Chains A and B, each alone.
Chain A
Amino acid sequence: MSEPSLDQLERWMMAVVTHPKGSASGIESPQACSQIPVSVDEIAQVVLPSKNLTSIERLDIYADMYRWRLVDILTEEYPTLSHLLGKNAFSALAEEYIALHPSEHYNLAALSQHFPRFIEEEGSDVTHREFAAEVARLERAMEEVYDAPQKDPVTSEEFEKIPDEVWGEVHMDLIPALELLSFSYPVDEYVTSVRENRHMDIPDPNPSWVVVYRNDFTVWRSGITREQHHLLTELRSGQSLGEALMSCAKLPNVDIGALSGNLKVWFQNWTGNGYFCRLR
């Protein structure tokens, strides 16, 4: 056999050590054979054995590290989902995900960007799929908020300077490190109980809304009402406060009195938590 080129060797090794069933299966895979057509028996034509290890055992060191490292990263990023599904089922799903969506970016935080969708639509045998997908979505949001661009928040003093007569026309930009989520289960409550080592049964469906935000470089989660979620979502989409409130008022079964009565407190809290980075 002629010596493979550098490109053939790298493509071959990548196919071998990232094969879900280990390097012996990887060597026989079409992706590897299209680069270097060797069988497991002929492997010493590509990788030499050492005094103590066979060529396959040497390749398996890389194959094992590939799986362990990436499964480990997903487990760290999704501790509640891992708890919900159980360690073994979670690891099996993580391996399936890595095979379907291999990492393409040097930034490991990007590895699991498709994981919530995978849990919702693609993963095989996901128990409590709908709830599991919502847990994944919340844990992914926390990861994204952790790294999101930093913008200094507007202070309460700046807020108070807005004259009463122009409030309706004010546009409020939300900080990039903030995500608004809506769920059909009380996901936030479940995540909190698991992270605090308190047992909680898988809850029955019950709509919930959550804001995940970063304040002073710490990530926070907070349960919010449907109206608050709607209002903040409208503001984020570029509506003025007046337009956002009008849209809120059209929600089914909304209590207009409570909405207008609470507004001041809401905005005080939100400004205190640094939700807004620009008023215009």
Chain B
Amino acid sequence: MPCANQRRRLPKGWRRLLTKALGNMSIRNKWDFPDLGLGLGLRTVHYNHILEHNPAVDWFEILSENYMETEGRPRKILDQISEKYPIVMHGVSMSLGSTDPIDFNYLKSLKALAERVNAVWLGDHLCWTGVARKNGHDLYPVPYNEESLRHVIERIRTIQDYLERPLVIENPSTYLTFKSSTMSEEEYIFRMAEESDCGLLLDVNNVYVTCRNHDLDPDSYLDSIPYDRVVQIHLAGHTDKGTHCIDTHNDHVIDEVWRLYGEVHKRTGGRSTLLEWDADIPEFNVVHEEALKAKRYRNEVEVVDV
């Protein structure tokens, strides 16, 4: 196994045991963010359909940056949609792992947009997107070691203070392992979340993709997630290259990812769930129907608040 040592802060499997012991009781997220139901990523090609038909989607997630440096059509459409649907903001430019200074101009625009659309929450990814002022527009992996963990925690705290709200941070799809990593991704995320007091967006497809790319066990990965911090779940399709998987968001969700989603649902009792479809985007109803498949898993568990 290429990943460095598997040292964990918690005994392996404890959450699974706890879930069994609690039966079907849900673990609330610690901020009491609501379960918004089943949402979709808001995409340009669906603007007209949404405005004309007001589809029965529970909520929309926006890619924050698409609405930040524009006063044109995207902003106008978003204003209309945010009057009718709850909006969650998901960004790709916070660059939490980067050693470049925090971009407060970006955060200022982000905060203004969150106020404008009355965002229920906002977040980004555990990654860095560039360094030395060069932007790669990709979600690059951090080495999972003490130095980067301290750095990321410090930045999350600073950003949360500035934005005056918790960040909801997503586990990334990654394609390489740094030799300088000294802990697993799950342990890193657990400690990052606990010590920075941030929320988590658990992307179940990313768990699958990452585990395939690093020869890891996704069920074991899910055992280490602090579910009281999970505010939102992502589902998506990917491209399976045989030797590895790429997180392309261009297809239906595969059965194994649905199974993992079911496992996550048993442990949370219900979290806002969003389907991402960003390439080869089919017509709106196909995307919506894919998201509604999550109902099967959500209805399997009787939700009782603790």
Residues of A within 8 A of B (CB): 3-7, 9-11, 13-14, 17-18, 44-53, 55, 58-59, 61-62, 65-66, 69-70, 102-110, 145-150, 177, 214, 217-219
Given contacts A10-B98, A49-B2, 12 further A-B contacts (CB under 8 A): A6-B147, A14-B134, A45-B179, A47-B176, A53-B243, A61-B246, A62-B176, A66-B136, A106-B65, A107-B69, A177-B71, A214-B72
| A-B pairs under 8 A by CB, number | 134
Instruction: Tell whether, in the assembled complex, residue B214 and residue A50 are in contact, meaning their CB atoms are under 8 Å apart.
Output: yes
Q: Which residues of A contact B143 (CB under 8 A)?
A: 6, 9
Q: Which residues of B contact A (CB under 8 A)?
A: 2, 65, 68-73, 75-76, 92-93, 97-99, 103, 106, 128-138, 140, 142-143, 145, 147-148, 151, 175-180, 213-215, 242-244, 246
Complex contact B73–A146 (CB within 8 A): yes
* Contact flag A104-B133 (CB < 8 Å), given A47-B176, A147-B69, A150-B71: yes
Q: How far, in angstroms, from A219 to B68 measured CA to CA in the complex?
A: 19
**Is A102 a contact partner of B73 (Cβ separation < 8 A)?**
no
Residues of chain B within 8 A (CB-CB) of A58 are: 175-177
- For B65, list chain A residues within 8 Å (CB): 106-108
Residues of chain A within 8 A of B130, CB atoms compared: 14, 103
A104 to B67, CA, bound (A): 18
Known A-B contacts A50-B215, A59-B176; the reply to A104 vs B72 at CB < 8 A is no
Q: Which residues of A contact B213 (CB under 8 A)?
A: 50
B244's partner among A7, A50, A70, A105 (CB-CB below 8 A) is A50
Q: Which residues of B contact A18 (CB under 8 A)?
A: 134, 136
18 interchain pairs (CB within 8 A)?
A: A7-B99, A10-B98, A13-B140, A14-B132, A17-B136, A46-B178, A47-B178, A50-B213, A53-B243, A59-B176, A61-B244, A102-B134, A102-B135, A103-B137, A104-B134, A104-B135, A217-B72, A219-B72
Contact A148 B72 (CB under 8 A): yes
Let me know if A6 and B134 touch, CB within 8 A: no
Contact of A52 with B243 in the complex, beta carbons under 8 Å:
yes
Are A6 and B142 in touch, CB under 8 angstroms?
A: yes
The answer for the CA separation of A11 and B132 in the assembled complex, in Å, is: 7
Q: How far is the CB of B69 from chain A (nearest CB, A)?
A: 4
Centre residue among B71, B76, B148 by max chain A CB count within 10 A: B71
Contact of A106 among B73, B93, B145, B214 (CB under 8 A): B93
CB distance from B63 to the nearest CB of A (A): 11
